[in-house]
């Protein structure tokens, strides 16, 4: 039994030079499987359980801070997808422990920290830059 593979052209190279490239017609900051949306945020970025990464609309596209923010949010996204990290309106769940959320703050070891604070273990682990 035979089948036809199709006639679409992928990457084409000649003498070691790539002549054609795949084009996904997307923002340079896109990540396959994880849409990136620029929105007003109090933080640099946010990884949503629905798979979307939200980036502060004031970050310049293509900048180093954009790249670093996306890398940090992708770490959170990976942790969400593997079950290491989860959240709901009232709690953050990290490595089997629950941490209460109240009005934008998280109770960690008896002290309240703002969401996104680098002293929170899931933030410290995802930290790429200062």
In degrees rounded to 5, what are phi and psi of residue 87? -160, 160
Any idea what the Cα angle at residue 63 is, between residues 59 and 65, rounded to 5°? 65
The count of C-alpha atoms lying within 13 angstroms of the C-alpha of 95, restricted to the half-sphere facing its C-beta, is 5
**Range among 16-20, 29-33, 80-84 with highest mean pLDDT value:** 80-84
Encode 76-85: b = buried (16+ Cβ within 10 Å), e = exposed.
Answer: bbebbeeeeb
Distance of CA 52 to the CA centre of its chain: 7
Q: What pTM was computed for the model?
A: 0.72
Does 93 score more than 80 pLDDT? yes
The rounded percent of the chain whose pLDDT value lies above 70 is 73
Does 55 score more than 70 pLDDT? yes
Task: Give the closest residue to 91 by CA, choosing from 119, 115, 60, 121.
Answer: 115
Does 19 score more than 50 pLDDT? yes
pLDDT of residue 26: 46
Count the Cβ atoms, other than its own, within 10 Å of residue 73. 25
Instruction: Specify the 3-state DSSP secondary structure of 107.
Output: strand
What band does 121 get if pLDDT is binned at 50, 70 and 90?
Answer: very high
pLDDT of residue 66: 92
Residues 21-33: tens digit of each pLDDT: 555 444 456 567 7
């Amino acid at each position: 039994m035979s089948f036809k593979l199709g006639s679409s052209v992928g990457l084409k190279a000649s003498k070691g030079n790539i002549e054609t490239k795949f084009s996904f017609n997307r923002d340079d900051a896109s990540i396959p499987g994880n849409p990136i949306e620029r929105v007003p945020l109090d933080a640099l970025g946010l990884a949503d359980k629905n798979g979307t990464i939200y980036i502060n609309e004031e970050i310049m596209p293509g900048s180093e801070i954009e790249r670093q923010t996306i890398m940090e949010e992708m770490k959170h996204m990976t942790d969400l997808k593997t079950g290491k990290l989860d959240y709901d309106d009232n709690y953050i769940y990290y490595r089997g422990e629950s941490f209460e959320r109240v009005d934008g703050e998280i109770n960690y070891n008896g002290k309240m920290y703002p969401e996104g604070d680098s002293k929170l273990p899931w933030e410290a682990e995802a930290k790429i830059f200062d």
